[in-house]
Structure 1
Amino acid sequence: MNAYKPKSAEEAVSIINSGESVFIHTAGAAPQALVKAMTARGGELRDVTIYQLHTEGEAPYCDEQYRDAFNVKALFVGSNVRAAINDGRAEFIPSFLSEVPLMFRSGVLPVDVALIQVSAPDKHGYCSLGISVDASKAAVDVAKKVIAQVNPKMPRTHGDGLLHISEFDAFVECEEDIPELKPHLLSDSEKLIGQHVAGIIEDGATLQMGIGAIPDAVLSCLGNHKDLGVHTEMFSDGVLPLLESGVINNKLKTRHPGVTVSGFMLGSRKLYDFVDDNPAVRMLDIQYVNDTAVIRKLPKMTSINSAIEIDLTGQVCADSIGTRIYSGVGGQMDFIRGASLSPGGKPIIALPSVTARNDTKIVPTLKSGAGVVTTRAHVHYVATEYGIADLYGKTLKERAKLMIEISHPDHRDALEKAAFERFR
């Protein structure tokens, strides 16, 4: 450590040049001190391309005043860049999460600089990418310059994210809290969805679930299950009670038995403390985690994903509201396809039947301009608070009937009329 001296954030980002491309560490690992220092140079920098997935915290480089300095290209859209994307101040790259590392490694998306946040170095000088390995490891691998924010509050995780401090071209020491997710009080409809989905999850299944109310609702209903495993792109606090009780023990997994596998996480400090230096949790490169060839070999792989809306034939929109980009493609298709090919696997789309304004989320046709993230050929199970529709092997007319049965009663008449006019 004595051979490597920290710099100020301003000194560290001074090695970023106009015309270069910069990757920003994903989700809760976005290095805010470095982001702010880089943005402060917006008056002198020009045509710096920023690549990122979802990041927590601020994204000041998206402000109108920095349009000439930063060209933001998001591979997944979070709340901090959503307005900029839809106002034309930033751009969206549709991509499967499993292929983002390949885009970096192949040079399709060239990375000159990687801005990352890491744990404090151990006695051998190794830091960890902590709660976010995902595509960030690939960006670090190919970056010509790596600038790190060393934060003692970042947990040290096992897996692919270990980096020696000698690999950093510059680093800053900055202790700050890692972003946390506030606990969510489950609604009655979310609890019902959780019960329905939990009812078709078998003992010995391997789970992929996201972050949010519905995954938490499902996990809360699995207390009586046995020998579950986890191989997921992301996870949060919902898995902790099942890990602590032994319901999730990963012992039947054919890959990484006994180990929870993920690409990134976002949750409470309790979660971060649980994974800190825990060899039973392995954070791996998302090119591997989300590889369909890997996923399909896991027994009874059960994938639980959500949607913005879904039509009567099973087309899933999960990235936009009409033409307005809301999130991204992410890993939904990676796991939907992988689970469908797994022996005994179950790909599940779970969503409330209506929005907060009581608009139906099961629609005759998707909104104009909506993105089809998961095609109707890939969809098997669809769950709402009114039950589960198994669309696999069904005709379009049969699908419409099943989808109407799990729609909100207030909207069934209109959906039945639309289905009659379409399918006679």
Structure 2
Amino acid sequence: MSELQQPSQPPVFDDVEACVDAVLEKTGNRVVLGLPLGIGKANHFANALYARAEKNPEISLTIYTALTLERPSGSSDVERRFVQPLLDRLYADYQDLAYNQARRKGLLPDNVEVSEFFMQPGSFLKNPSAQQSYVSANYTHVPRDLLDRGVNVVGQMVSPAPDESGDFSLSSNPDLTLPVLELAKERDYGPILLVGEVNPHLPFIGGDARLPATRFDFLLEGDTFAQPIFAAPNPPVRLTEYALAFHIAGLIPDGGTLQVGIGALGDAICHVLALRHTHNADYRDILQSLHLDKDDVYCRMPLALEPFEHGLYGASEMVPEGFLHLRKTGVLKREVYPDVALQKLIAQGKLNGEVNEQTLIALHEAGRIDCPLTESDTEFLQSMGIVDPGYSWRGHRFLDEHGELEECDLHSSKGRQKLLGRCAGQRIKGATWLHGGFYLGSNAMYQAFRDMPEEEMAGLNMTAIDFINELQKDRDLKIAQRQHARFVNSAMMVTLNGAVISDGLENAQVISGVGGQYNFVAQAHELPGGRSVIALASTRVSGGETRSNIVWEYPHCTIPRHLRDMVVTEYGAVDLRGKSDRDVIAAMLAITDSRFQQELLEKAKSAGKIESDYVIPEPFCNNTPARLDAIFEQGHRLTLLPYFPLGTDLTEEEAQLAVALKGLKARSRKVWKLWPLLRKGVGIWKTRDGSEERIHRCLKRMDYENTDSFEHRLSAYLVAGALDHCVDGRRPLIGLKP
């Protein structure tokens, strides 16, 4: 390409209004704006474009996105007291998205439409605007849907390269941007303006997420856009989540592939997998106690008990903070390669990732390279760091760095050694320990990315969501890479016949969205050795009443029963794949809370789906929280199960309050049921001898110490009682650093 044909550098603006002018000059008054999900949105650009449309009704603006984040707010006085200092400390400089605030209040103008395919869980219940404009779609179908909608602008936060290349990284969100641009090119779709909002606080991540400046149409750069990244503090982990995590960890084989999501359960799973590797005796002790006296008739998969010799490889749409924890503890260490033949040889144990003569021999025997080498063979081998870069191809001979021609034959040791040259003994290049689509987490997670050494970062590839979530492209490669895959996803409810409810309620109100859950379930059924693991707590507290999350029926489902696979509650794991309806029901009853087993059993009998004289086996009739508490309270087990196993952005007092307020929110609002907490709280309030100093520090953090209002004093009593009741002093707040 001649110099005149080289792509031009994009215009750079430090004024967002000028950038909006430039965009509208290209698009006209019809704008369909695609914004990444989570933290990758170009907030300043989106707000300026929205404000322009709000003022000018001739502009038609459609915003298509997902997971719009907003600063936390409190719906009660107690919650506001907890949240306000967090706003001041963690979110003081964060710019909320104006369209989100407008639709929350029902104030979106008629010329603006906001559609999301995944909403911040529970944040828009009973909000007509958000509920009516929700789009139910598989994650991997979103690029297609965006083009069908007529997307003509993508606004994304990007990170500048730390070198002199002038490149930028899509960093947290290559997930949809890459496939949208690729699909548009395949369809000869027409121009999509890519607007990059440059933020040096965003960690720079290379690999597929790295783009040259010429790929952008406009760039926003300057101090205005250099804002702290939205932080999502880790939630406290309950013992219920730890019980689930132990059962799930027992299903994950060494040498396998792992996908998990964000949240308390994901944190618990990663912590327990680390325990399996670093405190194996304790891990075995707890897991085997959870299985004590229970026949594994409903899940004949042997428990995975050993530490990780080969390690795990991560292939997860969402990169949770726990994966960095697993990397540091030596669990997430299995590496995969971008070549099918090479990957198969690695998986078969014929190669170990080290460059030596056997590398060349095995690749030749597998038919991946010829003898003599072809030009394409040479390019491949040099790109993987197998053949010395000082040689250039000349037929079946190589020109060494001194300009001398020398015969090099794969059949002789001398020829192979000459080919290897300085590469001998090195690691094969291109290894990846984690493929991810997007990330979201705490400030500590973002800092860990910024501090990650270059050689470590080279093994992390943030990439397109269709690579992660489906097998259609590069199928053979993905099958070779994703050995013994375990895709772990959470659910709200599961029916007794194995249908999964994860995204909405029976009245059609959307809680969150389908996201990638269906993708991973379908993928698990296609991958040899792959399994989908649906995890849920067996019960929930609603309106102060305990209800079962295992239900007889539900008006809709996210995953139909014909895709049922493995389901896990705190009481165990069951394998539903290929089972009859009768056997599925019997298995699901075995992991149901015992308070609800008989009612569900009677419904199954009435429907003729299980024999009328069926009796739940006695070992499965003690599925109670008390039994789990008794197991975890033995010996020093609780000391291994911190509330925040991955750390937290919260202060010590805030961490304790987060645990207490979570417990308080789950309790009944009826005063007579809260009386024990009130009575205890009154006693603590009156105690000024220093014995309850921990709780008084927390009350001071909530600004309760000087309150004289009866209503506020009553709240203070409840919070004090909850701090005493819910924060178990035997459990550490923060996990040990790996």
1:90-239 pair list within 5 angstroms: 91-104=133-146, 107-121=147-161, 122-140=163-181, 142=184, 144-173=192-221, 174-223=225-274, 224=277, 225-226=307-308, 227-239=311-323
Deviation of residue 300 (structure 1)?
0.1
1:320 counterpart = 2:504: yes
Contact 2:158/2:199 (8 A) holds in 1 = yes
- 1:333-380 Cα distance to aligned partner (Å, 9 max, x none): 2111222332322210001111233221111001x3x3x221211121
Q: Which residue of 2 aligns with 1:22?
A: 33
Q: Matched residues in 2 for 1:99 and 1:38: separation?
A: 26
Query: Which of 12, 15, 34 matches 1:8?
Result: 15
What's the TM-score once normalised by structure 1's chain length? 0.91
Which letter does structure 2 place at the counterpart of 1:352?
A: A
CA RMSD of aligned residues (A): 2.4
Deviation of residue 321 (structure 1)?
1.5
Q: Matched residues in 2 for 1:21 and 1:76: separation?
A: 18
Higher helix proportion (structure 1 or 2): 2
* Residues 3/326 of structure 1: CA separation in 2 closer, same or farther (3 Å cut): closer
Which letter does structure 2 place at the counterpart of 1:320?
A: G
Q: Which range moves more in the overlay, 221-230 or 346-355?
A: 221-230
Q: Which residue of 2 aligns with 1:389?
A: 574
Contact 1:302/1:345 (8 A) holds in 2 = yes
Q: Which residue of 2 aligns with 1:377?
A: 562
Q: Which range moves more in the overlay, 334-343 or 254-263?
A: 254-263
Deviation of residue 81 (structure 1)?
7.0
Query: Which of 291, 302, 305 matches 2:470?
Result: 291
* Residues 5/108 of structure 1: CA separation in 2 closer, same or farther (3 Å cut): closer
Which letter does structure 2 place at the counterpart of 1:380?
A: D
Q: Matched residues in 2 for 1:214 and 1:265: separation?
A: 16
Deviation of residue 262 (structure 1)?
0.5
Which letter does structure 2 place at the counterpart of 1:222?
A: L
Contact 2:60/2:111 (8 A) holds in 1 = yes
Which letter does structure 2 place at the counterpart of 1:248?
A: L
**Secondary structure of residue in 2 paired with 1:180:** coil
Q: Which residue of 2 aligns with 1:47?
A: 60
Q: Which range moves more in the overlay, 341-350 or 382-391?
A: 341-350
* Residues 365/83 of structure 1: CA separation in 2 closer, same or farther (3 Å cut): closer
Figure out how many residues of one structure are paired with residues of the other and give that number: 419
Q: Matched residues in 2 for 1:201 and 1:233: separation?
A: 18
Identity %: 26
Contact 2:125/2:509 (8 A) holds in 1 = no
* Residues 7/193 of structure 1: CA separation in 2 closer, same or farther (3 Å cut): same
Query: Which of 271, 275, 279 matches 2:458?
Result: 279
* Residues 287/170 of structure 1: CA separation in 2 closer, same or farther (3 Å cut): same
Deviation of residue 90 (structure 1)?
5.0
* Residues 22/211 of structure 1: CA separation in 2 closer, same or farther (3 Å cut): same
Larger radius of gyration: 2
1:8-87 pair list within 5 angstroms: 8-14=15-21, 15-16=23-24, 17-41=28-52, 42-45=54-57, 46-57=59-70, 58-62=96-100, 63=102, 64-78=106-120, 82-83=124-125, 86-87=128-129
Deviation of residue 246 (structure 1)?
1.6
Contact 1:100/1:135 (8 A) holds in 2 = yes
Contact 1:43/1:69 (8 A) holds in 2 = no
- 1:18-66 Cα distance to aligned partner (Å, 9 max, x none): 3221111221112222222222221214431111122323443252332
Contact 2:117/2:135 (8 A) holds in 1 = yes
Unaligned runs of at least 5 residues, structure 1: none
Contact 1:21/1:51 (8 A) holds in 2 = yes
Q: Matched residues in 1 for 2:170 and 2:442: separation?
A: 17
1:363 counterpart = 2:551: yes
Which letter does structure 2 place at the counterpart of 1:10?
A: E
- 1:76-120 Cα distance to aligned partner (Å, 9 max, x none): 22259735864467512222112223444xx32321111110002
Contact 1:4/1:166 (8 A) holds in 2 = no
Q: Matched residues in 1 for 2:322 and 2:171: separation?
A: 19
- 1:355-413 Cα distance to aligned partner (Å, 9 max, x none): 233221111001x3x3x221211121100001111111211122112111111122112
Which letter does structure 1 place at the counterpart of 2:498?
A: G
* Residues 3/381 of structure 1: CA separation in 2 closer, same or farther (3 Å cut): closer
Q: Matched residues in 2 for 1:85 and 1:20: separation?
A: 25
**Secondary structure of residue in 1 paired with 2:160:** coil
